[in-house]
């Protein structure tokens, strides 16, 4: 298993501490400018604090519908209903798995955290006239973070806004280590049942959208927006050309043991650039297989690549708080540059601050180093002996098109915080407006993991660490400010739950699990 830094939970449950903000949220709307008959839109909302282990490594082991998304600095949730009449849920969007699952009212997770399940959704089979149990005890899935879910397969009516999908196969969890579900939107071949019954594969939610006529092809695009943004969007069946800069370059998805199961592309080089653009670190000709996974919070690279970066940035690996840095680094104009596919491939620039996020103790306070600098979490770590993953810390800076029909990925530099939109349907054998590049040959993954620091910070009753923060060796152009002392940008307290829509796609009315509604457009 890859190195996974420990997280400090926010007392009670990390969810419950933040759920008090939910009733205050509302959704907003903006106009769209182009008609696209088969691009469908849904609303996402950001909701889970970074300190929960839930989204730190949500990736299944071994293995144009438009939706708006909100950034909780850890997970991206989509609203839907299940059953007849519909029972509301907020579930995590995950490109790294392929099953939808939801917790049952009878699940151990909902018995242990009743408030979270009441807020995020729990399924009562006796309250639905469309419930059909098609696989008693057959649903089993486990994730890289060590969590596991077991239960039944059911067929149910699933509605995301006005998009109503009939006879959708859903995992109904009776035993789960987390109080809310997942919407996996990966390849059908990566469904959890493949491990025990390869002939039992079913049409997952993306395939059902195509089969039932909502989109023309198995494809979607993801725009997470920046770390401090409240909103982002996903388009099933379409591309929004206003959401990225430069060229949208296509890379072939790489196979695993001859099959398409993950969104793996070839990483060619990694560089660190200071505020003047001078190279502080660079490794080229890497040919590394990187999985693009929205269900993972951070990014993970091999030791040989990431350890020089950790030292250059001044990361300390702490037994209580994980990989930590001074929150001052959030103000650095330095960037990390990632190139894919060899010559002609896309290069994505990620601001250093995208990897710097707040840390909280059990009381919801931000701990400090001995010198008073606020501790933040660092989101680029060693993959250890596990897969190389690029999660949300990277994906926020990339506009990514996932084309499951043609087994290709389109990638471009994201256009942060734009309210413009220009949606184009994906209807043929290519991604609209994209160019093609050959992919580099991939290398195998054999890595030992990041070493544990012996001189790390430790918790005290005053949430002050007993050691000073690390000393960066890169020129990061960091200047301490009063705001930096308080933590990463807009992070002076636990992240609030907020919902704001960035709307594209057909007209959909969402009844949110938190009592507000969102209108999405059809054009």
- Which residues are CB-neighbours of 245 under 8 A, at least 6 positions away? 412, 413, 414, 415
What's 306's domain CATH number?
2.40.70.10
pLDDT at 13: 30
One domain, residues 100 and 175: yes
| Span 11-52, pLDDT tens digits | 223 333 233 233 333 223 222 333 456 888 665 655 544 334
| pLDDT at res. 480 | 57
Helix (H, G, I), strand (E, B) or coil at 103: strand
Q: Are residues 34 and 133 in the same domain?
A: yes
Q: Is 332 inside any structural domain?
A: yes
- Which tokens sit at 343? 């010559």
Q: What is the pLDDT of residue 38?
A: 86
Same domain, 284 and 366: yes
Q: For position 318, what pLDDT does the model report?
A: 85
Q: For residue 225, tell me if it sits in a domain.
A: no
Model pLDDT for residues 393-439, shown as the tens digit of each residue: 999 999 999 999 999 999 999 999 998 999 999 987 889 989 877 76
Same domain membership, residue 268 and residue 185: no
At residue 460, the pLDDT reads 42
Computed over every residue of the chain, the mean pLDDT equals: 78
**Co-location of 263 and 324 in the same domain:** yes
| Domain annotation covers residue 64 | yes
Same-domain pairing of 143 and 68? yes
Note down the domain range covering 323. 244-485
Query: Could you tell me if residue 9 is inside a domain?
Result: no
Note whether residue 230 is domain-resident.
no
Active site residue 293: yes
Active-site residue (options: 43, 70, 94, 392): 94
Q: In 10 A of CB 458, how many CB atoms?
A: 13
- Minimum mean pLDDT range among 171-185, 479-493, 502-516: 502-516
The verdict on 61 and 35 lying in the same domain is yes
- The tens digit of pLDDT for each residue in 439-450 reads 666 644 443 433
CB 104 within 8 A of CB 174: yes
Residue 83 has pLDDT above 50, yes or no: yes
Total domains, the chain? 2
Residues 334-365: pLDDT tens digits? 999 999 998 889 999 999 999 999 888 878 88
CA angle 108, 112, 118 (to 5 degrees): 95
197 and 264: one domain? Answer: no
The single residue of 293, 320, 361, 403 carrying the catalytic annotation is: 293
Shared domain for 287 and 196, answered yes or no, is no
269 and 336 inside one domain: yes
Q: Is the pLDDT score of 4 beyond 50?
A: no
Q: Are residues 94 and 153 in the same domain?
A: yes
> Looking at residue 68, what is its pLDDT?
52
* Position 5 pLDDT exceeds 60: no
Specify the higher pLDDT residue, 233 or 210.
210
What's the confidence (pLDDT) of residue 456?
Answer: 39
Question: If you average pLDDT over residues 75-99, what whole number do you get?
Answer: 93
54: number of CA atoms within 13 Å, CB side? Answer: 29
- Whether the per-residue pLDDT at 58 is higher than 80: the answer is no
Domain contains 378: yes
User: Does 94 qualify as catalytic in the annotation?
Assistant: yes
Per the model's pLDDT, the better-predicted residue between 10 and 163 turns out to be 163
pTM of the model: 0.81
DSSP 3: -
**180 and 255 fall within a common domain:** no
Query: Quick check: is 343 in a domain?
Result: yes
| 383 part of a folded domain | yes
Provide the sign of the torsion angle of the four alpha carbons 167, 171, 173, 178, taken in this order.
Answer: negative
Please, which pLDDT band fits residue 181 given cuts at 50, 70 and 90? very high
Nearest C-alpha neighbor of 388 from the set 273, 309, 259, 298: 298
CA nearest to 124, candidates 109, 110, 138, 105: 105
Predicted confidence at residue 126, as pLDDT, reads 98
């Amino acid at each position: 298993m890859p190195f996974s830094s420990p997280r400090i939970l926010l007392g009670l449950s990390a969810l419950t501490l933040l759920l008090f903000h939910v009733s205050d949220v509302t959704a907003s709307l903006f106009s769209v400018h182009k008609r696209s008959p088969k691009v469908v839109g849904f609303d996402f909302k950001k909701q889970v604090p970074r300190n929960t282990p839930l989204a730190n490594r949500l990736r299944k082991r071994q293995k144009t519908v438009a939706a708006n998304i909100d950034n909780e600095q850890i997970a991206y949730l989509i609203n839907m209903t299940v059953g007849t009449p519909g029972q509301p849920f907020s579930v995590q969007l995950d490109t790294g798995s392929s099953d939808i699952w939801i917790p049952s009212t009878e699940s151990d997770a909902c018995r242990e955290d009743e408030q979270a399940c009441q807020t995020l959704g729990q399924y009562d089979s006796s309250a639905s006239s469309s419930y059909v149990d098609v696989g008693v005890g057959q649903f089993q899935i486990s994730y890289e973070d060590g969590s596991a879910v077991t239960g039944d397969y059911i067929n149910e009516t699933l509605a995301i806004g006005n998009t109503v999908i009939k006879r959708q196969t859903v995992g109904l969890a009776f035993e789960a280590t987390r109080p809310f579900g997942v919407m996996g939107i990966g390849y059908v071949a990566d469904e959890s049942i493949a491990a025990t019954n390869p002939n039992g594969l079913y049409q997952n939610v993306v395939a059902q959208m195509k089969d039932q006529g909502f989109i023309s092809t198995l494809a979607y695009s993801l725009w997470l927006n920046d770390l401090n943004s409240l909103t982002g969007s996903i388009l099933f069946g379409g591309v929004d050309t206003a959401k990225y800069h430069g060229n949208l370059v296509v890379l072939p998805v790489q196979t695993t043991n001859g099959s398409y199961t993950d969104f793996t592309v070839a990483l060619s080089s990694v560089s660190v650039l200071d505020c003047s653009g001078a190279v502080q670190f660079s490794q080229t000709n890497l040919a590394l297989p990187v999985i693009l996974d929205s269900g993972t919070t951070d990014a993970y690279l091999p030791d040989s690549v990431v350890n020089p970066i950790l030292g250059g940035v001044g990361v300390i690996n702490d037994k209580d708080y994980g990989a930590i840095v001074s929150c001052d680094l959030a103000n650095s104009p330095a960037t990390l540059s990632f190139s894919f596919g060899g010559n002609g491939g896309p290069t994505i620039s990620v601001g250093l601050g995208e990897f710097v996020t707040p840390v909280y103790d059990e009381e919801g306070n931000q701990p400090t180093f001995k010198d008073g600098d606020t501790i933040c979490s660092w989101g680029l770590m060693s993959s250890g002996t596990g897969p190389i993953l690029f999660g949300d810390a990277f994906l926020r800076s990339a506009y990514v098109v996932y084309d499951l029909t043609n087994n290709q990925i389109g990638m471009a530099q994201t256009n942060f915080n734009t309210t413009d939109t220009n949606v184009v349907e994906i209807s043929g054998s290519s991604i609209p407006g994209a160019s093609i590049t050959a992919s580099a040959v991939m290398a195998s993954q054999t890595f030992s993991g990041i070493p544990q620091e012996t001189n790390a910070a430790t918790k005290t009753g005053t949430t002050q660490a007993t050691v000073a923060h690390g000393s960066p060796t890169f020129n990061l152009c960091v200047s301490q400010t009063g705001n930096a002392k308080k933590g990463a940008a807009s992070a002076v307290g636990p992240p609030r739950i907020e919902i704001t829509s960035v709307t594209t796609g057909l007209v959909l009315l969402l009844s949110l699990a938190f009592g507000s509604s969102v209108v999405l457009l059809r054009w």
